Amino acid sequence: MRGNIRIAKVVMAVGLLTGLFIASTMPVLAGTKNETIEATAMGTGTQLGQNIGVTLDIYQFSTPADKQILVEAYQKAQGQGLSNALQRMKAVGHVSVTGTLGYDCSYIRMFPTPTGRKIVFVTNRQIRFGEAFFDTQSQSFNLTAGVIEINDQDKSKSTGKLYPAAQLVLDSQGQLQWDLTQNPWNLIDVLDWAGTAGVN
């Protein structure tokens, strides 16, 4: 009987401590908010007339060290090395388009501009079944990337580009450039929902 009372007291004490710990961490968790950028992607060229909704959730921004990892990976094994490095990185955001669940984003950088900010994101593209089955050349364009220009002075002038299927190549000057299988999509109607200052 006494043994049961002791066990009950221990269980209650553990439960109380657990509750206090959760309560103490709740303000921290509740106080962190992701930045969310929504936009409409308008097709160009062969995709002219098409449009899709795009949402980028930013948990945190990548660091210069993250960029160096990607540069070194590309130098060692080019596109495949870059893809492998992105897979090993933790997710710093999430990209989704209308009608899909989307996928984790491995690299997001922010750069100040005279009118606001430029946000660059890169992640691995999901290879479609038909591409893999028929071993198409498009598989080498295994990245999805985008550039978003946030204009803090005039929100209506915020814009950007979406590269649904891309790969990185070195140009004649040794600089990394995008190589695309299709024209980039223009981002319009950009809405920026601010996150936690200093985090995202």
Residue type, position 61, single letter:
F
| In a shared domain, residues 12 and 76 | no
How many domains does one find in the chain?
2
Instruction: Lowest mean pLDDT of 39-43, 73-77, 83-87, 132-136, name the range.
Output: 132-136
The reported pLDDT for the residue numbered 149 is: 96
| In a shared domain, residues 146 and 68 | yes
Residue 118 clears pLDDT 80, i.e. is over it: yes
Q: What is the mean pLDDT of the chain?
A: 76
Residue 78 lies in a domain: yes
| In a shared domain, residues 18 and 93 | no
Provide mean pLDDT across the span 105-123: 93
132 sits in the region (left: phi over 0; alpha: psi -120 to 50; else beta) called: alpha
Residue 69 clears pLDDT 50, i.e. is over it: yes
| In a shared domain, residues 3 and 97 | no
Considering only residues 82 and 198, tell me which one the structure prediction assigns the higher pLDDT.
82
Residue 119 near residue 110 (C-beta atoms within 8 A): yes
The reported pLDDT for the residue numbered 98 is: 80
| 5: containing domain | 1-31
Q: Model confidence at 151, in pLDDT bands (50, 70, 90)?
A: very high
Considering only residues 80 and 55, tell me which one the structure prediction assigns the higher pLDDT.
55
| In a shared domain, residues 2 and 71 | no
| In a shared domain, residues 5 and 97 | no
Structure tokens at 157: 């002038």
Provide mean pLDDT across the span 64-86: 85
Residue 200 lies in a domain: no
Residue 14 lies in a domain: yes
| Percent of all residues in the chain with a pLDDT value above 90, rounded to a whole number | 34
Residue 198 lies in a domain: no
The reported pLDDT for the residue numbered 75 is: 84
Residue 12 clears pLDDT 60, i.e. is over it: no
pLDDT digits (tens, 9 = 90+) for 78-112: 878 888 888 899 999 999 988 777 889 999 999 99
Residue 199 lies in a domain: no
| In a shared domain, residues 22 and 38 | no
| In a shared domain, residues 9 and 82 | no
| In a shared domain, residues 103 and 179 | yes
| In a shared domain, residues 25 and 116 | no
| In a shared domain, residues 19 and 102 | no
